[in-house]
Amino acid sequence: MYDLVCVDCHARFDQTDIIYTCPRCGHLLTVEYDLASIEPPGAVWQQRPLSVWRYRELLPVEVPPVTLREGGTPLYHLETIGEELGIRSLYAKHEGMNPSGSFKDRGMTVGVSMALQLGRRIVACASTGNTSASLAMYAAKAKIPAVVLLPAGKVAVGKVAQALMHGARVISIRGNFDQALAMVHELCLTHGLYLLNSVNPFRLEGQKTIGFEAIDQLSRVPDRFVLPVGNAGNISAVYKGLIELKTLGMVDSLPMMTGIQAAGSAPVVRAIQEGLPAVVPEKNPETVATAIRIGAPVNAEKALTAIRATGGTATAVSDDEILAMQRALARKEGIGVEPASAASVAGVKRLIEEGAIDRDECIVCVVTGHLLKDPDTVIRQCEPPTEIDADIASLVSALGL
Ligand code: F0G
């Protein structure tokens, strides 16, 4: 049993109401379970495979879920990068290993299932790319149409390819992500499409399982969770899940929630560093990490709470720091991620160098999307292949043997 509750005025709404923000005050909504009536399900969970659906007692879905086997992603110990930074317990939760190659699948398996549960038959989103790829995939599985709005020219090619191939109706907006989101939100309210951006509280329910899995994999609560922040949904989701575990008495501490943004697109970082009550939107965000090129994060108020309530922090990293860490993860750890994902580990490096975090901490970085999402940015950083004639002498000579 759950209610939709406003995070600000705490008004409660029925679970069947199709609303994305509080009709009374306009603030965000959250899903609130009657945790007092739930037996702590720890022992039951341990018997199920590691996946989003291991945690179904803390998910709102009552219909058979639309699933492509999401979650259960690896948690890698970053041995080499950790050693270089002097951190023994540095981990990366590789969300690029989800079905569509990003963490969005955790949200979409729940969100598209909820669309069916609520009787909605067309789903929609705006996206910097990954949300659209994931929505297209889960809509295909659910046999319902999907509409996706993308900022023209600013979405990595792998993500557009996925949205197109899985059959979504793909619309390119001559504008940025924030404008596309405002448009699709209005479209959904006026035309009855079901909105599956992270303003949708049910989608975040799926994403909170990243935190549950990391704790199960480590057999402890890490001291710190570090996430790249765009629309600020994921960091809010992970925090919410951990609060639920604490309320159920299943963990006794909360990790310090830490958000990393790209320097050219960092309204959450600015709000944290300057102690502002709310973010000041940026009109023209810019970064090579197009996934997090967002100037007006819709979940900012939840994210600020998550960071402040846990004694966490936020910092911004340059595009050069992001790309250097993308290469380091690929070459020193064998972990292929897209630029936005590398931002979390680049942020840890920066915070360590600034003395802002402790080397003795157990740190989990969420690396959010797969390397192949954005092949253009990879190719631009690497030497091209060496082309030779098709004979062994040329090969030996090219290899300098
Ligand atoms: N990393 C990647 C790879 C992303 O695609 C996103 C968001 C984030 C991090 C940030 O997560 O928005 O919850 O703070 N991508 C969205 C999209 C905006 O449309 O695919 P967030």
How many angstroms is it from 234 CA to the middle of ligand 1? Answer: 8
Q: Is the CB of 347 under 6 A from ligand 1?
A: no
Per cent of the chain over pLDDT 90 is 99
- 352 lies in a domain? yes
**Which residues in the chain show pLDDT less than 50?**
none
| Domain extent for 330 | 75-101+203-381
Q: Is the CB of 230 under 6 A from ligand 1?
A: yes
pLDDT, residue 15, reads 82
The CATH number given to whatever domain includes residue 288 is 3.40.50.1100
Q: What is the tens place of the pLDDT at every residue in 149-167?
A: 999 999 999 999 999 999 9
Give the closest residue to 109 by CA, choosing from 203, 246, 224, 211. 203
Residue whose Cα lies nearest atom 15 of ligand 1: it is 291
How many angstroms is it from 162 CA to the middle of ligand 1? Answer: 16
- 360 lies in a domain? yes
Q: Is the CB of 326 under 6 A from ligand 1?
A: no
Helix (H, G, I), strand (E, B) or coil at 151: strand
What stretches of 233-317 adopt beta strand conformation (E)? 256-262, 313-317
Residue whose Cα lies nearest atom 9 of ligand 1: it is 228
Give the closest residue to 1 by CA, choosing from 37, 33, 30, 29. 33
- 156 lies in a domain? no
How many angstroms is it from 130 CA to the middle of ligand 1? Answer: 7
- Ligand 1 atom closest to 130 (CA): 20
- 45 lies in a domain? no
- 326 lies in a domain? yes
Q: What is the tens place of the pLDDT at every residue in 305-355?
A: 999 999 999 999 999 999 999 999 999 999 999 999 999 999 999 999 999
Q: Is the CB of 338 under 6 A from ligand 1?
A: yes
pLDDT, residue 17, reads 86
- If one counts the domains in the chain, the total is 1
How many angstroms is it from 395 CA to the middle of ligand 1? Answer: 42
pLDDT, residue 16, reads 85
- 155 lies in a domain? no
- 197 lies in a domain? no
Q: The tokens 């840890």 sit on which residue?
A: 348
Q: Is the CB of 231 under 6 A from ligand 1?
A: yes
Q: Is the CB of 105 under 6 A from ligand 1?
A: no
- 365 lies in a domain? yes
pTM reported for the whole predicted model: 0.97
pLDDT, residue 346, reads 98
Q: Is the CB of 344 under 6 A from ligand 1?
A: no
Query: Angle at which helices 209-218 and 233-247 pack, to 10 degrees?
Result: 60
